[in-house]
Structure 1
């Protein structure tokens, strides 16, 4: 059986691209079987739908696989239609959160035939085997699928407890040099080396998240937080260095560092490995205090440029509604101790909970202003599978789910105003606060870039 995997392009208006780690794992699993595999990388080449269709007409495929986050629903709907137009007999299989969070809506309203739920590494292999052999796929765990009698769901699939057992992405299936060239655009200043020398790459160290915020959905949401062994992570980085000259790693996780032991183990592994590279990661917002300065100095010496940890809000009542177990004072303490260690802080904000007011918005941005942080700010975007999405449904803020998904957009686009503030006042409050921080930090950002800032730099460095 021949499967065609498509790496979709979510943002064709930006120059930077990042290696599709999730698709890389799926491709690796398939490449270890007897099934034929081909990949069309729309993202790497900013391919149009017309160009995609032309390429697909030159490939004799039995199945098409694609996936993305739920904000890409419209893209999946469009590509699945193209796939069926080119080959009506081919199976269209979707994965990632667009499949896991809304499988019935996806199957009912698009040309997708099968939705893979949750972790897909083993499911995709078993599914292709069953399809190839003409077996009834009702015995394949972890899928929703169309039948003449409607949509059916199979039993759930157990997760892989030890994710070290999952084969690493098969990088040879992708245009690595293109990713290494373009992924440097994800690297923020200050650069640890001349930008043209950066060869950056994404590595996953964990699956899932240890927390359960009411606004957040990811494909591993219903599964426990699992992280790879230090040995497995170091082995992957060593191979990336030896084969591709990678010198900058983006640890691309929902949560890289949950505990100090986990942090210590990876830092010790980097130290003992002798590998030299720069890196960024994510951590809890209250992981480090003044007592951890020795560990933080080792983290810095091991190549850490910066850590991302989310504030989301500085208002304790809103944080409670988010189910975010963070005291803003602990966030401030961590920012100060990271500053002292020479480690940059990146953070994100979610603005627009029903309890939000001008006062709470100012409170959140004032914390960033006072601590010299330009945040990645966005509006509350209700995602299916979350309590805040259920709230939006119950309060008639979303009346037609498919229409909502077709026009969902990015979190920087205010699609649904869940506050009691007028929309123009809400947007102005956010923008005026961002302007204040921009001006204080002397950043090269236009008013149009305040929310969709991408990369930015100090004007003094121009």
Structure 2
């Protein structure tokens, strides 16, 4: 058969970086090796509407089938592809795969205009499916698919046995995916991993060395099945040899769900990749690292490790089935930081065991471990995950098709009521965007190194507060809609820092005269911040509370009662208004003080403390911030109150859970 393989358009703006979909590359190789003709259309490298591009390609090549696939967040991109294919050739056979189909096979037929969905690993399934389609065979005999029979009934066939020997798979067809164009477009700010290429010219390819994951985290979904399998390292490095020669790469991202649990294999990998002189990154469980492994990884060129952190509250970690404890996470991050390897990780808020108490535990850890730059993220319940199936079982999802069509980001499965989790989500959004690990900027100007038809590129220079290394990011293209700050990695110690985005001051170009004063202020703030913290701890700012501005003191609780009453505290509307204003101006110390005082008004002293500290980094002589910290660290506030970041807004119960007999099990 002749198949048109379409790579979805992942971004709305021309030229933006996207991650090459390796899954489609593997499918392309499987089809070609079985003797089928495969034509590709990568929409990321073509101008024009999806409809017009697919219509033109079908008119030019006249394929028998159109195939594509992706994860659930790209539902609308897939809908456009298959609708365009059907419009261009009504009798075409539309075939979809990937995480979207595997997560909810039956619903995928309802939300996409497809004839067949391929579930889980597709290399064997697609070949057998095309054979049956060519011969007009009975699709009931093809394992691992979903389709409608002649009567319009949805049929999901038996699961296909997972591929055990990954070394037997044909390598992905990088050329068909137009990998060369993707590499040529790469710029340093396209990925946190790309930051670590010293010459500002990343040339990176994604590869895999294993499939699936041996863990069963409740928020996670494994599109390629539940059985963890590793590729033989000989076979992996044979592919790497070809990729290095063909594309002259200097970086490789190992995008395995989990790179390795075997210490011996990890050390062998380090020994074998070291002579390539490549920068590389992996995803690991915290239990996989120790002094020896991290030392070997650092010496072999590893510049980033992505860890599944998710929570720093033991009850939530247990609920998530993370198979770890906060102490083990702490130890792994400290070691990684020691060996100067970049850290990528998330704290997820909203697990089914999450309460205000557990959320406060995680936030208190984050507040005292900002150097790791762990992201704050609301938990999203994705179709196919154990959380999703539990929500179905509990009757919390009433319309599965509507859920798949538009996955709700505010869906609440926690033990918090909707009012409380709403404010937790709002606060972590503000924290994530305004509590910054600041580094002094030395230059921010339009680069001479530009790419035609793309947004302007900038040369950004800054000094690392940890190791004093001077970083020069040349030809940096900022993603569309980038906020007021840029998070960049020091290329010497691999610590991540926040840099002010000066394009907000002057979109056409930035004069260094604008930058230098802010650099001096920030450098002074960084120098004085440590001394200020010591003086506060030593009680040397007791007089500030008496001398500070009336604005600051009026916002403080009285010494008789450090807890504001429900009747007098600011409303949710006020908190959101003040927090929203800060999010729009994260470099304004007065807005940090405004938000801190609003947080004190609701009893969130730990959260207020962070924002006063941020204000002092930005303005070391800020009297409001000094007064605020003096009161929070004074005798009128208890230690328990200093550990409070989120508070209760209502006494309403959490979401109702009721048994749903029609729910499918996690094994379906």
Mark yes or no: TM-score above 0.5.
yes
- SS of the residue aligned with 1:459? strand
For residues 431 and 176 of structure 2, what CA distance do their matches in structure 1 show? 45
**1:230 equivalenced with 2:233 (yes/no):** yes
Deviations 1:410-457 (A, max 9, x none): xxx435574325154122321343256425678999xx9789988785
1:313 and 2:311 aligned: yes
Provide structure 1 residue ranges, at least 5 long, that are not aligned to the other structure. Answer: none
In 2, the alpha carbon distance for the partners of 1:270 and 1:146 equals 48
* Alignment TM-score, normalising by the size of structure 1: 0.89
Match of 1:209 in 2: 213
Question: What do the CA deviations read for 1:12-49 (whole angstroms, capped 9, x no partner)?
Answer: 35921121111110011112132211111123447633
Query: Which deviations, in whole Å up to 9, do the C-alpha atoms of 1:242-294 show, x marking residues without a partner?
Result: 111011001011111222122112112224xx3221101111122223xxx23
Q: 1:75 to 1:396 in 2, by over 3 A?
A: farther
**What residue ranges of structure 2 are gaps of 5+ in the alignment?**
442-461, 463-477, 490-496, 502-514, 516-668
Structure 1 counterpart of 2:507: none
**Number of equivalent positions:** 451
Asked if the contact 1:183–1:201 (Cα under 8 Å) also holds between the matched residues in 2, the reply is no
Pairwise CA distance, 1:381: 1.5
Give 1:268's match in structure 2, choosing from 268, 271, 274: 271
- What is the 5 A alignment of 1:270-285? 270-271=273-274, 274-285=275-286
The verdict on how the C-alpha distance between 1:92 and 1:210 changes in structure 2, with shifts beyond 3 A counting, is same
Corresponding residue for residue 499 of structure 2: 459
Within 2, Cα distance between the matches of 1:323 and 1:103? Answer: 25
Determine if contact 2:193/2:304 at 8 Å carries over to the other structure: no
**Matches of 1:182 and 1:95, distance apart in 2:** 27
Counterpart Cα distance in 2 of 1:438 and 1:347:
16
What are the within-5 Å matches in structure 2 for residues 23-102 of structure 1? 23-45=24-46, 48-58=49-59, 59-102=61-104
Moved more, 19-28 or 397-406: 397-406
3-state SS in 1 of match to 2:261: coil
Cα offset, 1:2, TM superposition: 0.8
CA-CA distance at 1:93 after TM superposition: 0.8
Stretch of structure 1 that moved more, 451-460 or 350-359: 451-460
List aligned pairs for 1:406-421, cutoff 5 A. Answer: 406-408=405-407, 413-416=409-412, 418=414, 419-421=416-418
Cα distance in 2, alignment partners of residues 441 and 392 from structure 1? 43
The 1:45/1:415 distance shift into structure 2, 3 A limit, reads farther
1:135-180: CA deviations, max 9, x gaps?
A: 2222222111211221223332212211011010122213222111
Corresponding residue for residue 6 of structure 2: 6
1:172 aligns with 2:185: no
Deviation at 1:189, TM superposition (A): 6.5
Q: What are the within-5 Å matches in structure 2 for residues 118-129 of structure 1?
A: 118-129=120-131
Q: Does the aligned pair in 1 maintain the 2:486–2:499 contact within 8 Å?
A: no
Aligned to 1:380: 379
Native 8 Å contact 1:361 1:430 kept in 2: no
Check the 8 A contact 2:95/2:117 in 1, yes or no. Answer: yes
Structure 1 residue 9, shift from structure 2 partner: 2.5
Q: Specify the alignment match of 1:22 in structure 2.
A: 23
Partner in structure 2 of residue 287 of structure 1: 288
Gap change, CA 1:182 and 1:367, over 3 Å in 2: farther
Does the CA-based 8 Å contact 1:278-1:304 persist in structure 2?
A: yes
Q: Do 1:310 and 1:348's aligned partners in 2 also have CA atoms closer than 8 Å?
A: yes
Q: Secondary structure at the match of 1:438?
A: coil
Does the aligned pair in 1 maintain the 2:251–2:279 contact within 8 Å? yes
Partner of residue 136 from structure 2, selected from 112, 115, 134:
134
Return closer, same or farther for 1:56/1:397 CA change in 2, 3 Å cut-off.
Answer: farther
8 Å Cα contact 2:281-2:302 kept in structure 1: yes
User: What residue is the counterpart of 1:198 in the other structure?
Assistant: 202
Distance in 1 of aligned mates of 2:368 and 2:186: 32
Indicate the larger mover: 254-263 or 431-440.
Answer: 431-440
2:327 corresponds, among 321, 326, 329, to 329
Give the Å deviation of 1:395. 4.6
Give the whole-Å Cα distance in 1 for the aligned partners of 2:485 and 2:439: 17
Match of 1:154 among 157, 160, 169: 157
Q: Are the aligned partners of 1:431 and 1:450 in contact in 2 as well (CA < 8 Å)? A: no
- Answer yes or no: is 1:339 the counterpart of 2:323: no
- Which one is further off, 44-53 or 210-219? 44-53
Contact 2:316-2:351 within 8 A present in 1 as well: yes
Mean CA deviation greater in 11-20 or 342-351 = 11-20
Deviations 1:300-349 (A, max 9, x none): 11110011111101111111111111111111111111122221111122
Distance 1:297 1:53, change over 3 A: same
What SS does structure 2 have at the residue aligned with 1:128? Answer: helix
- Please identify, of 430-439 and 342-351, the stretch whose mean Cα deviation from structure 2 is larger: 430-439
Describe the SS at the equivalent of 1:308.
strand
Instruction: Report which stretch shifted further, 392-401 or 347-356.
Output: 392-401
- Greater shift, 46-55 or 145-154, is seen at 46-55
Give me the whole-angstrom Cα distance separating, in 2, the residues matched to 1:376 and 1:16. Answer: 21
Q: Distance in 1 between matches of 2:406 and 2:47?
A: 21
Distance 1:72 1:198, change over 3 A: closer
Question: In 1, are the aligned partners of 2:346 and 2:374 still within 8 Å (CA)?
Answer: yes
Query: What is the correspondence of 1:355-370 to structure 2 with a 5 Å cutoff?
Result: 355-370=353-368
Alpha-carbon distance in 2 for matches of 1:408, 1:26: 27
